[in-house]
């Protein structure tokens, strides 16, 4: 039996970092950061992948600066779109399996219900457009793939909403947070753990010749707004007395009161039923995952 060799791209990101540990039970894990596999250096990138000969490539690298992308469209498209053509080509050439992540921001947010995989994407910002280009590159490549759209990713590692709120709550007495954008906060650890379960099943299905490449929504259960997420972060942190928070007032505001370079969808809830049906995996409720994440904090 060929041992499983897995290459992670974007190993220093929130998801990439968690994947390094979660993937270990599956085989040899080669974790590459930006210095070892740069998604802007397309020829080198392809050669690196071909030389390593993995059975599985997990791409956790992405241009994720949503506002900055409005001013760096070409760079964002290169990393989130063009590089995916190259990664998918290498995956096909190696007869490997590609795992790639996309975003809730491929949708315009006008739907009143959670988005399913059958809904038509209509990105309203550059980041969403570049991530959609990446999805299409993977889907059109003919390689074996699992494409996971996830949302509102947080972790104790890296830059994210959880860490920003914790920092501000230590520095400031008042904070105003947008309350009219709703979504599903998803812990990077949950994404990594579900990815492992899916890869394991996918490799078995490939061996048995009944694997189907597909797109799945992968996000926590339960909905909230950014304000609701911030409130829960503050309450859970206070209960655990982990940080010395100066914050006295957390106020809900509307999107109009907090202008940003990139527009955000008002509703970016992803329905993960298809993933549960096809792979029998269920992500935790977002508050429970947040508790588990926060409990790992060490000063």
Ligand X SMILES: NC(=O)c1ccc[n+]([C@@H]2O[C@H](COP(=O)([O-])OP(=O)(O)OC[C@H]3O[C@@H](n4cnc5c(N)ncnc54)[C@H](OP(=O)(O)O)[C@@H]3O)[C@@H](O)[C@H]2O)c1
- Closest-by-Cβ residue to ligand X is 13
- How many chain residues are in contact with ligand X, going by CB under 6 A? 27
The reply to whether 8 sits near ligand X by the rule CB under 6 A is no
Select the residue interacting with ligand X from 6, 31, 58, 62 (CB under 6 A): 62
Which helix (H) or strand (E) segment holds residue 187: the answer is strand 186-187
Catalytic residues: 127
* Candidate segments 12-20, 208-216, 225-233, 279-287, binder of ligand X by CB under 6 A: 12-20
* Contact present, 94 and 48 (Cβ < 8 Å): no
- Min CB(91)–ligand X separation in Å: 16
Q: What would the x/- binding string for ligand X be over residues 120 to 159, using CB under 6 A? A: -----------x------------------xxxx----x-
Q: Which residues of 76-87 are buried (b: 16+ CB within 10 A; e: fewer)?
A: bbbbbbbbbbbb
Q: What would the x/- binding string for ligand X be over residues 97 to 116, using CB under 6 A? A: ----x-xx------------
| Helices of type H across 155-266 | 161-171, 188-207, 226-240
- Min CB(185)–ligand X separation in Å: 9
Residue among 12, 7, 52 at smallest CA distance from 27: 7
- Both tokens assigned to 282: 């269920």
- Both tokens assigned to 290: 């947040």
For ligand X, which is the closer residue by CB, 91 or 245? 91
- Min CB(267)–ligand X separation in Å: 15
For ligand X, which is the closer residue by CB, 105 or 279? 105
At 280 the three-state DSSP class reads coil
Q: Residues with Cβ < 8 Å from 154, sequence gap 6 or more?
A: 14, 160, 161, 162, 163, 185, 186, 187, 188, 290, 293
Considering only residues 167 through 226, tell me which ones interact with ligand X, judged by CB under 6 A.
188
Select the residue interacting with ligand X from 29, 49, 55, 63 (CB under 6 A): 63
208 CB neighbour count, 10 Å cutoff: 8
Residues found near ligand X in the complex (CB under 6 A): 10, 12-16, 33-34, 38-40, 60-64, 79, 101, 103-104, 131, 150-153, 158, 188
């Amino acid at each position: 039996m060929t041992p499983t060799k897995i290459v992670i791209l974007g190993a220093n990101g929130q998801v990439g970092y968690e994947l390094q540990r979660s993937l270990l039970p599956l085989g040899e894990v080669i974790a590459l950061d930006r210095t070892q596999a740069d998604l802007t250096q397309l020829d080198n990138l392809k050669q690196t992948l071909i030389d390593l000969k993995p059975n599985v490539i997990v791409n956790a690298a992405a241009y994720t600066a949503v506002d900055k992308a409005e001013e760096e469209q070409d760079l964002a498209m290169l990393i989130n779109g063009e590089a995916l053509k190259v990664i998918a080509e290498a995956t096909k050439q190696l007869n490997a399996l590609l795992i790639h992540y996309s975003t809730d921001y491929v949708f315009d947010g006008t739907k009143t219900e959670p988005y399913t995989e059958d809904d038509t994407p209509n990105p309203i910002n550059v980041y969403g457009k570049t991530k959609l280009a990446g999805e299409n590159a993977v889907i059109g490549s003919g390689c074996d793939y699992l494409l996971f759209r996830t949302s509102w990713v947080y972790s104790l590692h890296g830059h994210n909403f959880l860490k920003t709120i914790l920092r501000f709550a230590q520095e400031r007495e008042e904070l105003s947070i947008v309350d009219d954008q709703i979504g599903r906060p998803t812990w990077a650890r949950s994404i990594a753990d579900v990815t492992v379960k899916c890869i394991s099943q996918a490799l078995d299905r490939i061996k048995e010749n009944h694997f189907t490449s597909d797109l799945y929504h992968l996000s926590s259960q339960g909905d909230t707004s950014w304000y609701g997420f911030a409130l829960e972060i503050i309450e859970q942190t206070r209960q655990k007395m982990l940080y010395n928070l100066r914050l006295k007032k957390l106020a809900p505001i509307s999107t109009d009161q907090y202008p940003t370079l990139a527009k955000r969808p008002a509703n970016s809830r992803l329905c993960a039923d298809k993933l549960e049906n096809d792979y029998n995996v269920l992500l935790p409720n977002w508050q429970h995952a947040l508790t588990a994440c926060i409990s790992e904090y060490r000063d």
